[in-house]
Amino acid sequence: MSHSTSADIRGRFDDLDGRDLLALAGFIVGVNVVGALPAVFAGADTSWIERPWFYPPEIAFPIVWTLLFTLMGVALFLLWRRGFGRRDVKLAFGVFAAQMAINVTWTPVFFGQQEPGWGLVIIGVLWTAIVATIYVFDRVDRRAAALLVPYLAWVTFAAVLNFEIWRLSA
C-alpha cells in the first residue's frame, strides 16, 4: 500500500469521534441481534430438508449472515451520519426496517413451520424489498447502497436454494 493511499484511508476515518464509534457498534450489533433472533426462537433445523447438490456446508450460513448483517449495520451508520433529520434518511431507515421485518419472517416460516413454498413467497418479497432498499440508500449515500449488494446476491442464491428445496419436497 502506498503512503498516499494509506493517508487517504486514514483521512476518511479521522473525523470519527467516540459517539460515532458507539453508533457504528450499535448499528452493527443491533442488526446482528435482530437478524439472529428468528433462528434463536424458531430454530434452524435442517434435518427435514432434501438437499440439492449445491447446498452449502452448514457452517457457511452463520458466517455469511454475520458478515451481511455487519455490512447492513455499517450501511445504516453511513446513512445516520448524513443526518437523521433529513427526509431521505428517514425514508431509507423506514424502507430498511420494512425489508428487515420481511427478512426475519422467513426463518420461522421456512425452518419453524417447515414450509418451503411459503418461504419462497417471502423470499421473493424480500428480494424486491432489498432492491427498494438499495435504491433509497443510493439516493442518500452510494457507499451504503453498495454495502447491500452482497446481501442481494446472497438472497438471490438463497431464493434459488429455497426453490430447489421446495421442488424436491413436492
pTM recorded for the entire structure: 0.89
The predicted structure's pLDDT at residue 11: 45
Of the candidates 46, 51, 61, the one whose C-alpha atom is nearest the C-alpha of residue 161 is: 51
pLDDT per residue over 15-52, tens digit each?
778 899 999 999 999 999 999 999 888 877 888 999 99
Of the pLDDT bands very low, low, confident and very high (cuts 50, 70, 90), residue 10 is very low
CB-count exposure of residue 41 (10 Å: 0-12, 13-18, 19+):
exposed
Which residue, chain included where needed, has cell 430454530? 43
pLDDT per residue over 138-160, tens digit each?
999 999 999 999 999 999 999 99
Of the candidates 101, 99, 89, 70, the one whose C-alpha atom is nearest the C-alpha of residue 137 is: 89
